[in-house]
Amino acid sequence: MSRARPFHLTLIHPCVGRRAGMKGYIRTWQMEPVPAAMLAALTPPGVEKRFFDDRLEPIAYDAPTDLVAISVETYTARRAYQIASEYRRRGVPVVMGGFHATLCPEEVGRYCESLVIGEAERTFPELIDDYRHGRPQKVYRAEGRPALTVTPDRSIFAGKRYLGIRLVEFARGCRFKCDFCAITAFFGASQSHRPIERVLEELARVRRRGQMVFFIDDNLVSNLAAAKALMRALIPLKLRWVSQASINVAFDEEALELMRRSGCQGVLVGFESLEPAGLAEMNKRFNLMHGGPRQALANFRRHGIRIYGTFIFGYDADTAATIDATVRFAQEEGLYIAAFNHITPFPGTPLEARLREAGRLRFERWWLDDAYRYNMVPFHPKGMSAEALEHHCVQARRRFYAWRSILARGRQRVNRATLYMMANFVAINALHQWDIEGRNGLPLGDATFRGELLEAAS
């Protein structure tokens, strides 16, 4: 098929939701959307690209384009379908991929002309080629795990005001099988790695003086040998970096030493629960290894590593007292930052299947329900009502991010060990405090969207 102009692709990163008249967006959610940059890098040469970040700017629906690509997560599904409906009204085809597309393909397939299931490395270039040549297929399914050889094309971020932290990927997936985790459901409890030289090349290009690097890996240390090899290679760079890690790394002295020497400033650790019964229920009893969270935190601190601790509530043994004790634990341990969330039954996870089977889901599809709002508990917990769990989670955040608590945690030696991290501590805690009320009750999707969600022709 000959064309008078080059094929034009529009990439979109949808927001979670927006209230009518809302000014600005949740600031802690405004990091560079690396999946969009990956799709840009996977787009064959000769295709013109434009990128809209729905969190930062209006989408120019009427700008001419041949195809729209949206990466969908469960929290952004409703908004993605709204955006697709706008384009459908204009006769523009929409393709969707991402976690939600893989874990919930029947639903997502209703709102897009083509569906990418699994990782996009091999299928996305083929999909674009098919659209360019007028032979699109409905489903593009990745077989197995691709080699991670592509470097994100960050040129699409030019002129957009993201948080000043550089996001780089080394490993994708995780070998553990926590029952609530959509990541491990998506990747089938496996992990793949980019070649270290690619990571180093990318760092050399994107790194800015004084900026923190965030390795966005789901679990950087799922394969400790691979993580140690990366860290050894990072030592000469004199980076400052943060990432996400499972607790096992805290009991490997060599890994802790390499983290310190390679410039690790902190890691997010999913402690999830302090209750052995809760950890057993979520298949995360490994969090109790070698003395559990308190010993792990002492080990991290000894190596100057700050901790973003995340906790989830709503398992059968959890009560208001459990949440109260967890906040006290996070304060006593002087966590740098922390998250206190209810468990979320993501489609495709064992948790969701179990709650559905037991008839404990409050909504057929909470992520699409008109009545659902961010922070609402979408299932019936055993130890308290859904409303009480929601209330206690919000109160936990308010207590942890109250100024008195911030100042007390600021006295923890590791949090004030350097001027840079001390200033960062104040800024990031203030930002989290500010965002508590902003997120609370946020609608999923844009509240000003009018009309029906338009389904694709089957």
Binding mask 151-170 for ligand SF4 (x = CB under 6 A): --------------------
Q: How far is CA 444 from CA 121, 165, 213, 376, 456, in A?
A: 29, 26, 30, 11, 21
Nearest approach, Cβ of 190 to ligand SF4 (angstroms)?
Answer: 11
Identify which of residues 176 and 300 has a Cβ nearer to ligand SF4 in the complex: 176
Question: Closest approach of Cβ 173 to ligand SF4, in Å?
Answer: 8
**Nearest approach, Cβ of 433 to ligand SF4 (angstroms)?**
26
Is residue 183 at the binding interface for ligand SF4, with CB under 6 A as the rule?
Answer: yes
Please, which of residues 235-264 interact with ligand SF4 by CB under 6 A?
Answer: 246
Any alpha helices (H) in 21-92, and if so which ranges?
A: 34-42, 77-89
| Residue 348 engages ligand SF4 in binding (rule: CB under 6 A) | no
Q: Can you list the positions of beta strands (E) in 290-384?
A: 306-313, 337-342
Report how far apart, in Å, the C-alpha atoms of 25 and of each of 17, 78, 160, 368, 455 are.
9, 17, 13, 21, 28
How far apart are the C-alpha atoms of 6 and 379, rounded to whole Å?
Answer: 49
Out of 53, 66, 113, 218, the only residue in the binding site for ligand SF4 (CB under 6 A) is: 218
In terms of Cα–Cα distance, which of 340, 338, 259, 270 is closest to 301?
A: 259
Select 95 or 182, whichever has its Cβ closest to ligand SF4: 182
Contact stretch for ligand SF4 (CB under 6 A) within 70-78, 172-180, 299-307, 392-400:
172-180
CA distance 282 to 179: 5
CB-facing half-sphere around the CA of 269: CA atoms within 13 A? 25
The nearer residue to ligand SF4, 176 or 315, going by C-beta atoms, is 176
Q: Is 190 or 385 the residue whose CB approaches ligand SF4 more closely?
A: 190
Give the dihedral sign, CA 155/161/166/170: negative
Residue 181 within binding range of ligand SF4, rule CB under 6 A: yes
* Binding residues with ligand SF4: total (CB under 6 A): 10
Rounded to an integer, what is the distance from CA 353 to the centroid of its chain?
Answer: 22
Using DSSP, state whether 266 is helix, strand or coil: strand
Distance (Å, whole) CA 446 – CA 59: 12
Q: Give the largest CA-CA distance in the chain.
A: 68
| Distance, CA of 85 to CA of 87 (rounded, Å) | 5
Cβ closest to ligand SF4, residue 104 vs residue 456: 104
CB 39 to ligand SF4: min, Å = 23
Is residue 71 close enough to count as binding ligand SF4 by CB under 6 A?
Answer: no
Residue 273 in the binding site for ligand SF4 (CB under 6 A): no
Residue 171 binds to ligand SF4 (criterion: CB under 6 A): no
Q: Which residue number, 53 or 218, has a Cβ lying nearer to ligand SF4? A: 218
Interaction between residue 191 and ligand SF4 (CB under 6 A): no
Q: Note whether 174 binds ligand SF4 by CB under 6 A.
A: yes
The single residue among 76, 85, 114, 219 that binds ligand SF4, judged by CB under 6 A, is 219
Cβ pair 429, 399 in contact under 8 A: no
Sites of contact with ligand SF4 (CB under 6 A): 174, 176, 178, 181, 183-184, 218-219, 246, 270
